[in-house]
Every structure is written in C-alpha cells, then in structure tokens.
C-alpha cells in the first residue's frame, strides 16, 4: 500500500532498529527477502522522493489476534499508533473468493490510508469521491463523442493540451481514448446487468473498486511487405470492477424516546 502512493522501501531488518535510522542518506530501493522477524516484530523504512526524500519508519507487532502498527515520520516527535483486530477483517471464509476478501479488507485499507499515509505525507488528502454508475456511463459516452476529455497525469509525454482537460483539475493535457472508453463502458453495462439480476438499485450503484492489472503478454506476428513477417507482443490486461449500493444513513432516535437510565 505504501509503494502504491509513491513511497520506496529503503531498509528492512536490523538496519531499521538503530538510532541512526533517519541519518542514513541511502534512498536505494530494497526488497523484502531479508526482512526481520524477531518474535513477530517487523520493521520497514520507506522514503518518499516526491517529498524531498522524507523517510518513514513503520513497525508492526503481532500480539495474540491483534496487529499493532506504529509509524514515525522523519523530524517528527509524534508517532502514530494503530491497533487492528485481525478477526474483524480476516472473516470466516477461507475459499479464496475475491469479493469476500475485498469486502473484509476494504475497511482496513481505507483506515490505514486515512490514519497513516495522509498524516505522514503532511498534506491534506481529499477523500476519494464516489464514482456513481450513471454519471460514469454518461462521462464515457461524452469521451467517445469528444465532448469531454480524459486528463493525463502520468505518462503524458507528447500529449497535447485541451480546455476540456483543464475543467477536470488537470494541467491541461488530455485525450479521447475511444477504444478504451468503449471497452470500459461495455464492462459497466455488463456489471449493471448483473446488479439488476441480483435485485440491486441501479440508480444507487457506485464504483467502489476498479483496478487494471497487467496480464501475460501474447506473441503475435505482423505481415510486412515483400513477404516478411515480424513478431510483436500483444499486451492484454485484467480488470477488477466492483459495484456497491449506496448505504442510507440511519437517523438517530430523538432523546425523548430513549429509555431513561436507572439511577443507582
């Protein structure tokens, strides 16, 4: 999770337990092959190059059925403590069902991002907005019609600028990937049909999880002039998509209807 938001793992094992853990100037990325395990105690040092090589020390301690996480940022004297009850997130299902696993771990990941990463970055992090199904379908249809552009924030070398991208809080670089938009739109329609079969309210659905993973590349061939044949690799992907129904807030009972506490 730390690696996905820009941190680089720079130290594990005994190097993380010394007094000079923050004085080291090394920001080279390391693996987790030699991570320390002393009586269920783990420690890591992460560096964020985008924040001026700021370092973060993360210690984890497994105690009975609880996971104790303690994090300390460089030049900070206030560590963050987080106590996690493992039974609340593991669940009873051991079948490896992805949807069940996601349901159990979603709350844990959101809590770590809110309590740890947002504070260690020393910047206010906007809460993730809910991608409602109806609005996202309309947005993809506008992309295909070149009415709205998709902003490019990464891998944007050579991407032109357009006013449509500036309207979506970007630096102005954006394009209209029609093929990709059509593919995602078809996927959303498929998920919407599955939700209707299960009796869910389509108007209250939002995209709670979407992730694109790189799949195994496939070897293809292309036919060139003069009878030549050149190989090239086809790069497919796996897409994980979960639609959830909006939860209705439960109103608190008025105090006049609450049972009066018995005085001792």
pLDDT at 224 over 80: yes
- On whether both 40 and 65 belong to a single domain, the answer is yes
Contacts of 167 (CB under 8 A, 6+ apart): none
Query: Domain boundary at 120, 149, 171, which?
Result: 120
Concatenate the DSSP letters of all residues of 158-171 into one string: T--B-HHHHTTTSS
Query: Domain boundary at 120, 150, 176, which?
Result: 120
Q: What CATH number does residue 153 fall under?
A: 3.90.470.10
pTM assigned to the model: 0.51
- On whether both 89 and 179 belong to a single domain, the answer is no
Q: Is residue 257 part of a domain?
A: no
In this structure, are strands 131-132 and 205-214 parallel, antiparallel, or unpaired?
Answer: antiparallel
What is the residue range of 229's domain?
131-245
Contacts of 152 (CB under 8 A, 6+ apart): 159, 165, 170, 173, 174, 175
- On whether both 14 and 74 belong to a single domain, the answer is yes
Q: Is residue 262 part of a domain?
A: no
- On whether both 217 and 139 belong to a single domain, the answer is yes
Query: Domain boundary at 120, 153, 175, which?
Result: 120
Q: By the 8 A CB rule, do 106 and 88 touch?
A: no
Contacts of 27 (CB under 8 A, 6+ apart): 8, 10, 47, 49, 53
Of 128 and 211, the structure prediction assigns the larger pLDDT to: 211
CA 32 to mean position of chain CA atoms: 21
- On whether both 24 and 112 belong to a single domain, the answer is yes
- On whether both 173 and 112 belong to a single domain, the answer is no
End-to-end CA distance of the chain: 50
Q: Is residue 95 part of a domain?
A: yes
Q: How open is the CA angle 187-191-196, to the nearest 5 degrees? A: 145
Q: What is the mean pLDDT of residues 177-186?
A: 92
Backbone angles phi, psi at 142, to 5 degrees: -70, -35
- On whether both 107 and 30 belong to a single domain, the answer is yes
Tokens of 144: 């295909």
- On whether both 109 and 149 belong to a single domain, the answer is no
Q: What is the mean pLDDT of residues 118-126?
A: 45
Q: Please give the tally of structural domains in the chain.
A: 2
- On whether both 12 and 109 belong to a single domain, the answer is yes
Tokens of 159: 């991407």
Q: Is residue 258 part of a domain?
A: no
- On whether both 113 and 152 belong to a single domain, the answer is no
Which has the minimum average pLDDT: 75-84, 114-123, 189-198? 114-123
Q: Is residue 179 part of a domain?
A: yes
Give the SS3 label for residue 109: helix
pLDDT at 5 over 60: no
- On whether both 102 and 168 belong to a single domain, the answer is no
The closest of 193, 168, 205, 191 to 239, measured between CA atoms, is: 191
Tokens of 60: 């984890």
Predicted local distance difference test score (pLDDT) of residue 125: 37
Q: Is residue 260 part of a domain?
A: no
Backbone angles phi, psi at 193, to 5 degrees: -65, -40
Q: By the 8 A CB rule, do 109 and 116 touch?
A: no
Q: Is residue 81 part of a domain?
A: yes
Which has the minimum average pLDDT: 31-45, 55-69, 192-206? 31-45
- On whether both 153 and 211 belong to a single domain, the answer is yes
Q: What whole-number percentage of the chain has pLDDT above 90?
A: 21
Of 112 and 76, the structure prediction assigns the larger pLDDT to: 76
Q: Is residue 151 part of a domain?
A: yes
Q: What CATH number does residue 76 fall under?
A: 3.40.1000.30
Predicted local distance difference test score (pLDDT) of residue 122: 45
pLDDT at 2 over 50: yes
Burial of 150 per CB tally in 10 Å (0-12, 13-18, 19+): middle
pLDDT digits (tens, 9 = 90+) for 235-257: 898 888 888 887 776 676 666 65
């Amino acid at each position: 999770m730390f690696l996905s938001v820009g941190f680089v793992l720079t130290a594990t094992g005994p190097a993380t337990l010394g007094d000079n853990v923050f004085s080291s100037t090394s920001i080279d990325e390391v693996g987790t092959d030699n991570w320390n395990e002393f009586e269920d105690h783990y420690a890591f040092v992460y560096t964020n190059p985008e924040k001026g090589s700021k370092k973060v020390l993360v210690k984890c301690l497994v105690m009975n059925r609880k996971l104790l996480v303690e994090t300390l940022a460089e030049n900070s004297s206030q560590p963050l403590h987080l106590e996690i009850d493992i039974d609340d997130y593991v669940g009873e299902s051991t079948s490896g069902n992805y949807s069940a696993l996601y349901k159990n771990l979603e709350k844990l990941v959101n809590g770590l991002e809110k309590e740890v990463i947002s504070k260690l970055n020393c910047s206010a992090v906007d809460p993730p907005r809910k991608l409602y199904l109806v609005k996202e379908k309309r947005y993809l249809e506008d992309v295909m019609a070149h009415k709205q552009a998709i902003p490019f924030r990464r891998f944007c070398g050579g991407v032109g600028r357009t006013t449509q991208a500036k309207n979506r809080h970007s630096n102005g670089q954006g394009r209209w990937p029609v093929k990709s938009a059509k593919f995602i739109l078809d996927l959303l329609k498929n998920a919407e049909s599955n939700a209707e079969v299960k009796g869910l309210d389509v108007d209250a659905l939002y995209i709670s999880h979407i992730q694109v993973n790189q799949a195994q590349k496939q070897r293809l061939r292309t036919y060139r002039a003069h009878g030549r044949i050149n190989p090239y690799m086809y790069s497919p992907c796996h897409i994980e998509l979960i639609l959830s129904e909006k939860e209705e807030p439960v109103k608190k009972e008025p105090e006049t209807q609450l049972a009066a506490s018995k005085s001792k």
